[in-house]
Chain A
Amino acid sequence: MKTRRFYALITFMLGTLFLLVYTLPFIRSLIVSFMTWDQASKIPPDWIPNPFTLENYMKLFRIELLPRWVMNTVLYGLAISLSNVFLGLMAGYSFALLKYPGRDIFFNAILALMMLPMFVTMVPLYVILVYFKLIDNLVALPILGLVSVNTVFMARQYFLSLPREYFEAAKLDGASRVRIFFEIALPMAKPLILAIIVYQFLGAWNAFFLPVIVLKSPENYVYAQGLNYAFSRTWYVEYTPIIAGTIIGSIPTLVFFVLFRRLLIGGIVIRSYRR
């Protein structure tokens, strides 16, 4: 019994240490975002903002393009959420509940794409966008993100997990497959739709690689890209406004994490079980 408590204590201490490691960067940033740059660059570090200042946030919001970056990101997230819900649900339903020759070949071909790294396809994608005159156009991002392999996979797994009896019964009652889709599958797919939207939105908020390749002029940037752009022009002058920017940038993630923790964690686990 004694050793058990000893191990529990060790685990607790180790757990607390890691808790600090994984939260301190966020906490420190939050504190520093209310400091002047002079105070923030002190050694040893100060932990209480003195004077407490909102100047960093003011400076951040004085960047004229900031609202546009936020809006661009939100629009991008909305667009790919919408298209992923539509195309993903259609494909997932077909892969899971209809039976026809070639279905599994197509599904495996899609799954195999997961292994194709972005750095191989980025140049061709750029050339395709050049051809359609979509470079430096915000529309290019949602086009590249119309539907993701992940969405199709998630939708298929979800429809497979629904009890088949519902669909069999409807079929026996003579409902057409179109009706089955709209009146049975769709209402039951609400959790799936929510999951797709959460994932795509967070994906858009975290996107960097594609925006960097596609978007050239600062007014078209997404938030992360814009913040990096602002940073690259102010480094060494004053970093605290950028810290304030990282706090603003973490808010959507934090909100999504608090609201949809189980969904986000579940999605990552599901993804590891595919083959």
Chain B
Amino acid sequence: MRNRKNFSFYSFFTCKKKYEFIEGMLLILPAITVLFIFGYFSFIYAFYLSFLKWNYITDPVFVGIENYVRAIDELVKGISGAPWYEVPFFMGIRNTLIYTIIVVPIQTMLAIVLAAIVSSRIKGSSVFMTSYLLPGFTCSVIIALIFIYFFGQRGFINYLLNQIMPGFGYPDWLYSKNLVIPAMAIVAIWGTSSNLAILFIASMQAVPRDIIEQARLDGAGPIRRFIHVILPMIKPTIVYAIIVGMIGALQMFDLSFVMAGPQGGVEYSGMTVVLDIYRTAFLQLNPGYASAKAVLFFVLMYIPTLIFLRKHGGGLK
């Protein structure tokens, strides 16, 4: 009946289809153009640049895979123990990996704990929530500048550590070769766990109440309920948080730029990969070599992450 009545409308509609295509394309065209130029075109262009020897001014020279050979050579030399000033790329990769290994597990666990506290519905949990979430929205540079004061020789962190463990001493964290990466890691954990907690709060709220009630009736205490009921239910969120955390940690730039300085700190102890690429491209004016490093790091680090995401992130939705 209805179909019959609307028959004329549908035929009207099909003949308008061409217009819908044109209109639809016109509406997405500006966004698509911008995003494709700054995304896909730049990506291909980076690949092209990585085969050039260039300094932005003179005519570029095509050098084949020379830049890649140089980058890999730097890595090999670094592994076999070359002095730090010869191998910034290796130092960057080493520091970034150490940083990622420290940051990702701790920030994920902390975020879960924070979310559990907020979701426990005890008195004041909304106050807790507000205070936990604020750092996640604050500018990373502002956070870094706040913490630089705390990490100073006579700063709050040294004071606190000496209260807990007398005899810790008063090191200058940012100028100490072994402490600058842990200092950045602490700042990053503080900020990112706050951000990730939001995800866990949301996914814990989505756990059906009756399953938890049932577990309680079966005699499971709060800790067992948490480990055996809630944790399995939020597993997709944990996978997602680990991946987002890894992607973020591997690209860390702001904190090392502010806390260790644009030159990578004492003996490159605060150098990260992205900071090294930045220096190569914009301070040493070598866009070809910088692009080669970027493409290499992208392949080395990102493809495993993406494969992991494809495999384990599928349950998300």
In the complex the two chains form, is B141's CB within 8 Å of A224's CB? Answer: yes
Taking A93-B27, A147-B30 as contacts, is the C-beta distance between A272 and B156 under 8 angstroms? Answer: no
Q: Give every chain B residue within 8 A of A213 (Cβ-Cβ).
A: 278, 282
Contact status A116-B199, CB under 8 Å: no
Is B20 in contact with chain A by the CB < 8 A criterion? yes
How many residues of chain A get a CB closer than 8 Å to chain B's CBs? 96
Which residues 72-100 of A have a CB within 8 angstroms of B? Answer: 87-88, 90-91, 93-95, 98-100
Q: How far apart are B132's CB and chain A's nearest CB, in angstroms?
A: 5
Residue B152 lies at the interface, judged by CB distance under 8 Å to chain A: yes
B49 touches A127 (CB 8 A): yes
Q: Which residues of B contact A259 (CB under 8 A)?
A: none
Residue pairs across A and B with CB atoms within 8 Å: the count is 261
Q: Flag if B31 contacts A152 (CB, 8 Å).
A: yes
How far apart sit A99 and B253, CA to CA, in the bound complex (Å)? 41
B interface bracket (residues with beta carbon within 8 Å of A): 35 or more
B316 in contact with A11 (CB, 8 Å): no
A171 to chain B, nearest CB (A): 8
**Interface hub of A4, A23, A106, A128 (most chain B Cβ within 10 A):** A106
Would you call A15 an interface residue if the criterion is a C-beta within 8 Å of the partner chain's C-beta atoms? Answer: yes
Q: Whole-angstrom distance from the CB of B249 to the nearest CB of chain A?
A: 12
Contact yes or no, A119 B297, CB < 8 A: yes
| Chain B 135-180 interface residues, beta-carbon cutoff 8 Å to A | 135, 137-143, 145-150, 152, 154, 156, 158-159
Bound-complex Cα distance A101 to B117 (A): 48
Partner of B127, one of A19, A93, A177: A19
Given A106-B32, A118-B251, A119-B274, A264-B137 contact (CB < 8 Å): yes
Q: Does A60 contact B (CB under 8 A)?
A: no
Nearest chain B CB to A247 CB, angstrom units: 9
- Docked-complex contact B43 and A120, CB < 8 angstroms: yes
- Is A250 among interface residues, defined by CB-CB distance under 8 A? yes
State A18–B133 Cα separation when bound (angstroms). Answer: 11
B residues in contact with A268, CB < 8 Å: 195, 198-199
B-contact bits for A176-191, CB 8 A (1 contact / 0 none): 0110000000000000
Please choose the segment from B69-77, B82-90, B99-107, B288-296 that sits at the chain A interface, where 4 or more of its residues have CB less than 8 A away: B288-296
Residue A172 is within 8 A (CB to CB) of chain B in the complex: yes
Task: Contact check, B254 vs A208: say whether CB atoms are below 8 A apart.
Answer: yes
Tell me if B98 is interfacial: C-beta within 8 Å of chain A: no
Give 24 pairs: A residue, B residue, CB < 8 Å, sorted on A: A4-B222, A11-B120, A18-B128, A28-B156, A43-B159, A45-B159, A87-B31, A117-B251, A119-B251, A121-B38, A124-B41, A124-B45, A125-B38, A125-B42, A130-B56, A147-B34, A152-B31, A208-B257, A212-B257, A225-B141, A246-B145, A250-B138, A272-B199, A272-B316
